[in-house]
Chains A and B, each alone.
Chain A
């Protein structure tokens, strides 16, 4: 149950999502970590292949340049004419050579050769080995060839030179592809290029491999102290007897890249876990804490409490919800206070006489059992003074009900003024009042009644220039709280009522005790 509750909570979901994200990321990174070996090796192979393709493109560009150069030479009319003079008239080749240097000397070639139709070298700048290789391949058509060079290859463009539709001889232009050309391939990624012939490295871009034995059987091989990942660049136009172009990258470079990649992966894993955990915790804290506070708040409201909720200035949705909740709780509290006030007023009006502010007869019924219980606990008795205003009907009849009400108010004010703290004051009829008190002191009660009578008799009611004399008749009774028969309200009021009628009969404006009660002689005289 607790698990289900956790899974259904947002906190639980956030934790699950964060954990799942962390696991996915970690899993993919671990996969990368474990498979990086093959990836790096694959990338290395691709990289070497790209470098090889680039070299092919450069070689192609050289071939095209050479082809353009020989086309320009063979189509030059003056050169054709000079070639004719040299080959057919037998003049010296120097003017032709001068013409070549003057007009075509700017061509970007390493070697140039001019041959007669019979294959005799007319002039040129080239090594003897190149001349010997070129001679057998002088053909009637234009051609591009790779030839052997001491440290690599020679790209050779050959074209016949014609004059009046007959071949006069041949022009041969070449570009040397050797150590210098290879040096461009020792790039930042560590790829090296080298030429191999007869299982020996003829030349290499850095010169380090030159002269080393080379016998490749797999994609990896060892030369000297180092092992290499190698790639053969297959130049389709080269014969197998010519130097072969190879590319290599040191395995230490590969391993170094591998380790670098792995270090980066591990760092990424660590950083990702830390970041996800931190963000997860922040998410949980930022989302669930205010939600939990709201849940506690609603629970308190359900329990009938209305706690104070502080507003917040944070600009987010949960803060807005919390503020709405605070407003709602404040509104509820205000409403509750209003209800309490109304309730208190209602309660007060239910037990209080509106005119005099004294308790009414209903409250007497409610409070009397409590007074009895209290008196029992304190081992005391309950004293009652029943008071009736003398000739009150006459006041009403002569001066009106308002004046009567004023008389009642006057009396109740005097009663409140003279009463003691533990006295309960009631208006139980039109001009009938009751004072209940928990006491054993009958003398004290009698003195209070007498003092009240005397005070009322001496302070007439003043109303609209009228002075209306007022007197009261009081009957005092006492109930023993431990005697259930005597301690009923009816018994107590009956006895007090009898004592009050006795006071009426004695001429009013006096205090009488219920039968069986007695006071000190001094009080009796009063």
Chain B
């Protein structure tokens, strides 16, 4: 009975989540966004964090209410949802999207969208806090994810099996995790592949021998047992991205239709260059792409 109750509650939560999130619902049905003065933004979680933090300033600048969707870091609610939302903009409704991956020129052209780059975000290599390893070389990281190295003792750590945790999203887009290994098939077969950044953080916390990857914009929960390590003795910082010494990163962008509304452009511009954004970029080690 208790089991049934637990499952029922889980199901109801998911149902409510879907009903309250138009982007999530858009996966199977056409998106029906409200029309009116409101500006709607949706897309990848990591870009959502930026817009969500800046929301009061953006609403002040545009003078319009802004609704944002992307809090839940789940596959299927990310970049694709951002692109779809951007394309829903019309005379009666202003929308924009946000993505956490680099979009290829072909995709931009094919989907007839305009990309507004926000920042480069370091992709952190996560290990469990109990792991004494503080640094790995780029090659060691790649060998571990590839499965060539399976024990931490081989990289100077404890005699402990390495548990590879991956989140291989947006497989057809360049950049992001592809800077670790260019194709999903190159990753170690015996690994945990999670569907959300939350699960990534959880799995690496649970297993002492785990290694994973996550964007620097992720806000870790209290009690999290993960830690980011240096790669080639370089920490995942904006500075190291700028001088190109940290190898793993991705590009956060906003997307609109080819002719976005002035208010939409205004808020995107503020997100790219405003004071608030600079402050955030500093906090999350983001490298702004627009001066």
The interface of chain A, by Cβ under 8 A from chain B, is 68, 72, 81-82, 84-85, 88-92, 94-95, 98-99, 106
Contacts and interface: CB of A to CB of B under 8 A. Distances in A.
A94 B210 CA distance: 13
A68 B150 CA distance: 37
B152 to A, nearest CB: 11
Query: Ordered nearest first, which 7 A-B pairs have the shortest CB separation?
Result: A90-B161, A95-B206, A91-B163, A91-B161, A85-B163, A88-B190, A95-B207
A407 B251 CA distance: 174
Interface in B190-204: 190-192
B161 A106 contact: no
A297 B2 CA distance: 89
14 contacts: A68-B3, A84-B190, A84-B192, A85-B163, A85-B192, A89-B164, A89-B191, A90-B161, A91-B208, A91-B209, A92-B207, A92-B208, A92-B209, A94-B208
Contacts of A91: 160-161, 163, 207-210
Interface in B140-171: 150, 160-164
Interface in B169-225: 190-192, 206-210
A92 B2 CA distance: 30
Contacts of A90: 150, 161
B223 to A, nearest CB: 13
Given A82-B206, A90-B161, 10 more contacts: A72-B3, A85-B163, A85-B192, A88-B190, A89-B161, A91-B161, A92-B208, A92-B209, A95-B206, A98-B206
Contacts, number: 37
B167 to A, nearest CB: 13
Contacts of B150: 89-90
Nearest to B192: A81
A98 B207 CA distance: 11
Nearest to B194: A81
A91 B190 CA distance: 11
B196 to A, nearest CB: 13
Contact of A85 (B2, B3, B160, B207): B207
A513 B150 CA distance: 187
Nearest to B193: A81
B207 to A, nearest CB: 5
A90 B209 CA distance: 10
Contacts of A81: 192
Contacts of B191: 89
B209 A106 contact: no
B203 to A, nearest CB: 8
B163 A106 contact: no
A89 B3 CA distance: 30
Nearest to A96: B206
Interface in B103-129: none
A20 to B, nearest CB: 62
